[in-house]
Each structure stands twice: as C-alpha cells, then as structure tokens.
Amino acid sequence: MSKFTVIDHPLIQHKLRILRDKNTSTKDFRELVNEIATLMAYEVSRDMQLEDVEIDTPVAHTTVKQLTGKKVAVVPILRAGLGMVDGVVKLIPAARIGHIGMYRDEKTLEPHEYFIKLPEDIEKREVIVVDPMLATGGSAKDAIAALKKRGARYIKLMVLVAAPEGVKAVQAADPDVDIFAAALDDHLNDKGYIVPGLGDAGDRLFGTK
Ligand code: PRP
Ligand code: URA
C-alpha cells in the first residue's frame, strides 16, 4: 500500500482557506495554487538523494552535500494541473515538464485522455504528477497508467484537495505511487464534486464558465 500524506503546514492551511472561499478572485486563486504547490514541493522532495562532495570555502576545505540521483519531471494533468507547475519548478528549476490532457465527462465522470507529451527519458526520472483535485481518482489513475505505459517507474502524485474515494482508488490501482495532499476532505457529492472542496479547480484557475 502506498503512503498517503497530508502536508498540514500552517501556511498551507491558511492559503487553502482562502482558496476554498467562493469569493476569491481568479487572480488570487491562481497565485495561491502556485504558492501552495511550492510549499508542498518542499515536502514532496524530502527524500531526494544527496552525495558528499569536497569543496573549498574561503576559510577551509570541507565536505558538504549536493543533490544526486534521479532527475525530476513534473507532469500536470491538464488543465487544472498547469496551475501548479510554476510553483514546483520554482523549487526544482531543472525539472522537465510533461503534459497529460484529461477531462472528466460531466455525466459519467469517466476521464478521457486527449493529449500526452513527455520528456524522452521519462523512465529514468522521478515523476511528480500534479493536479489540484483528486475526486473519484479516475483522472489520476488514467494519467499514472499512461505514464507507466511509456516506461515511467518512479511516480508521486501531488494534489491540493483529496476525497477519500480518490485516495482509495489510486492506492488500490497503484500501490507504488505515494500521494501527497494539502487536505483530505469529507466526501464526493452526487455530481462528483469534492465536499467541501473548492469547486471546479480548472474553471476557477482560468476564469471559465
Ligand atoms: C478535474 C481535476 C482533475 C479531475 C478530478 O479536471 O482537475 O483532473 O477533475 O476528478 P476525478 O478524480 O474524478 O477524475 P476536469 O476534468 O474538470 O478538467 P479541467 O482540469 O480541464 O477543468
Ligand atoms: N474536479 C474539480 O475541479 N473539483 C471537484 O470538486 C472534483 C473534480
């Protein structure tokens, strides 16, 4: 079973409170999604590998740490995942970006893939899939399957708001994929929206509908 972690840092909780408010503007929503993504990326990258290197400071010769190991690919699930990319790349500037286009049919709630473009060496990279919402889990599961089909082996899923149904579905389908969220909400309503949630993340980010 994969790990499910709620990153409940006070700054994240405070920003998420503003994000959830239906009166928050598109401009503020967009900024807050990126800010929360940066704060979460700090924790999601905690297990990155380090190696010892010797350097000279102006004062002495010493051994210090530097990053080694796998390079990173950030893969947003379009559209809403796009809103988190800049926030993650701020902390991991050398990351490559892949894209997976996925929309959820409003009636059946079934996800449909419409676009995929990944870095060539995706199988060697640590992949951080980003999407603000994990509702039924259908979109995340299909995105992860699309990545695995193309060779990706080290995958983490980073979302802002998760529903218990979505966490359970991804853990059952992908026991190797750890999930990080800023909040675990109560349930899904009969339209597949997370309750209390924050509404339609894509529409609020891009000012549509
Ligand atoms: C939203 C959200 C997730 C998906 C979650 O995207 O950004 O990708 O729904 O729902 P699920 O867990 O039940 O699959 P949506 O399909 O609304 O597309 P958008 O990002 O283009 O708005
Ligand atoms: N997608 C969203 O954008 N919001 C939800 O609450 C569920 C799915």
Domains and CATH numbers, the chain: 4-206 (3.40.50.2020)
Whole-number Å distance, alpha carbon 121 to ligand 1 midpoint, is 27
Tell me, what DSSP letter sits at residue 25? Answer: -
The pLDDT score that the predictor gives to residue 151 is: 98
Cβ proximity of 126 and 92 under 8 Å: no
Nearest residue (CA) to ligand 2, atom 3: 200
ipTM value > 0.95: yes
Whole-number Å distance, alpha carbon 125 to ligand 1 midpoint, is 25
Nearest residue (CA) to ligand 2, atom 4: 200
User: Which pLDDT band, with edges at 50, 70 and 90, does 54 fall under?
Assistant: very high
Global pTM value: 0.96
Among the listed residues 200, 207, 92, 74, the one whose alpha carbon sits nearest the alpha carbon of residue 143: 74
